[in-house]
Amino acid sequence: MAHHHDHHHHEVTAIKSNAAFVFGITFNFLFVIIETVVGFYIHSLSLLSDAGHNLADVFALSLSLLAYRLTKVSSNKNYTYGYRKSSVIVALFNSMVLILSIGAILYEAIHKLIKSEPLAGTTIAWVAGIGIIINGATAFMFLRNKAKDLNIKAAYLHLLADALVSLVLVIGGIIIHFTNWFWIDPALSIIVALTILFSTWNLLKESLRLSLDGVPADMNLEQVKKEAAKIKGIREIHHIHIWGMSTTETALTAHIVIDAKSSLDEAEKIKRDFKHALEHMNIQHVTLEVESSDTKCEG
């Protein structure tokens, strides 16, 4: 019963996440068109920079949706883990694309700071206001599941950053309208670039770590050893390897040493108890090699 409920919960979560991705992709793409047209029309670098940022997010959301669905594909004889790792590759690629976009935005912003042009501040504010609604609503759709998947977390952070950037643009547009300080437009572009960097840096580090089969950031090798010490029958644990199979699933292999007098049934119970403890640490795929205390391997 519990298993069925859990399976149903995951299905509902997957449906909601898919809907959030589709909503985000569709409305952000429409917003990119609006920002681009208006940005070119009034010569606003901040709107054009934000449009470029949002277009990168549309691309990122599309890849994240693809990766999210690929993680659900069953394994086969050529890909025995399925396509789980694609989610890590996409997260890494997305973070690199976003960081590269910072350079282009900063280059244009510096150029515009040197030579600012008259702008319609109210137009910037109105267009950016639409961005707050679209990005804020989409980010909210990802809020509940952001801790369960790195790609969902990435989407949430990107959209939340976009909503905050749009808020800054609204404020900037109002200031331009009342003061004619046109240099604020490229200055806001720099804020956009720094926001992208801030929201992307941790994503880049974590996706790079997972792509190199490093221990996921929310995992602790010492805690695994402590959990093993709590299991009755485990005398020692070594040769521990922990890595991310995807942005949501973690695997572990280890050698555990048990008493030489333990029966086969006792050994199986020890393994079950330890695997159960590891599940509570969000380690889903566990392979344990059992060694008796009188024949344990060295190293």
Residue 7 inside a domain? The answer is yes
Q: Which of 193, 211, 229 is the last residue of a domain?
A: 211
Same domain for 191 and 230?
A: no
State how many domains the chain has. 2
- At 111-131, the pLDDT tens digits run 778 777 777 889 989 999 999
Residue 50 inside a domain? The answer is yes
Same domain for 261 and 149?
A: no
Same domain for 174 and 228?
A: no
Residue 73 inside a domain? The answer is yes
Q: Which of 171, 191, 211 is the last residue of a domain?
A: 211
Q: Specify the pTM.
A: 0.66
Average pLDDT over residues 57-63: 77
Tokens 């695994």 belong to which residue?
Answer: 224
Half-sphere exposure of 93 (CA within 13 A, CB side): 14
Q: Is 44 left (phi over 0), alpha (psi -120 to 50) or beta?
A: beta
- At 178-209, the pLDDT tens digits run 998 888 888 887 887 787 787 678 778 888 89
Q: Which of 185, 211, 237 is the last residue of a domain?
A: 211
Same domain for 65 and 190?
A: yes
Residue 299 inside a domain? The answer is no
Domain interval for residue 44: 2-211
Q: Please say if the pLDDT value at position 17 is more than 50.
A: yes
CATH of the domain at 228: 3.30.70.1350
Residue 216 inside a domain? The answer is no
Same domain for 72 and 174?
A: yes
- At 156-181, the pLDDT tens digits run 877 887 887 888 889 888 998 899 88
Same domain for 178 and 234?
A: no
- At 215-271, the pLDDT tens digits run 988 888 999 999 999 998 899 999 999 998 887 789 999 999 988 787 888 889 999
Residue 228 inside a domain? The answer is yes
Residue 297 inside a domain? The answer is no
- At 261-294, the pLDDT tens digits run 878 888 899 999 999 999 989 898 999 999 887 6
Average pLDDT over residues 145-150: 68
Most confident of 31-45, 93-107, 112-126: 31-45
Same domain for 32 and 138?
A: yes
**159 vs 129: CA distance, rounded Å:** 14
Same domain for 148 and 263?
A: no
Nearest to 142 by CA among 249, 18, 26: 18
Residue 74 inside a domain? The answer is yes
CATH of the domain at 182: 1.20.1510.10
Q: Please say if the pLDDT value at position 69 is more than 90.
A: no
Same domain for 192 and 225?
A: no
Same domain for 133 and 243?
A: no
Comparing 28 with 10, which gets the higher pLDDT? 28
Same domain for 27 and 106?
A: yes
| Predicted pLDDT at 11 | 45
Same domain for 287 and 188?
A: no
Assess contact for 225 and 276: CB atoms under 8 A: no
